[in-house]
Amino acid sequence: DQQVKQNSPSLSVQEGRISILNCDYTNSMFDYFLWYKKYPAEGPTFLISISSIKDKNEDGRFTVFLNKSAKHLSLHIVPSQPGDSAVYFCAASYQGGSEKLVFGKGTKLTVNP
């Protein structure tokens, strides 16, 4: 039973344009959501997070949107840069992130120059 789903295994965008990565979850008990960026053979690097009491969180070029009624969140990267090319994992947690993380399968983003 996959509780966190990233249905797009890959995404390709042009440099300067917007990248939108999507994530759906099934467990309404999740209250904290995170996006991580990962390169092969490296640990995930934290990008941005959002608490379930909010619907938007912004940090520089990265914005995460949360739609609790739809159990959907998205990560927007604007403008996209070639250095953003990596695998992006959506993760969800309980109790404000102090519990284990449940990860999606990841979306490989390629930003073309």
Applying CB under 8 A, the residues found at the interface with other proteins are: 32, 34, 36, 41-46, 49, 51, 89, 93, 95-106
C-beta of 41 vs 70, nearer to other proteins: 41
CB of 28 to other proteins, least distance (A): 18
Least distance to other proteins, CB of residue 36, Å: 8
Report phi then psi at 21, rounded to 5: -110, 135
Decide whether 15 or 59 has the Cβ nearer to other proteins: 59
Residue among 11 and 102 whose Cβ is closer to other proteins: 102
Residue number, 79 or 93, with CB nearest to other proteins: 93
E-assigned strands of the chain?
A: 4-5, 10-14, 19-25, 32-38, 45-51, 56-59, 62-67, 72-77, 86-93, 102-103, 107-112
SS3 sequence, 19-48?
EEEEEEECCCCCCEEEEEEECCCCCCEEEE
Q: Which of 38, 29, 36, 19 is nearest to 87 (CA)?
A: 38
Whole-number minimum distance, CB 101 to other proteins, in Å?
6
Q: How far is the CB of 75 from other proteins (least distance, A)?
A: 14
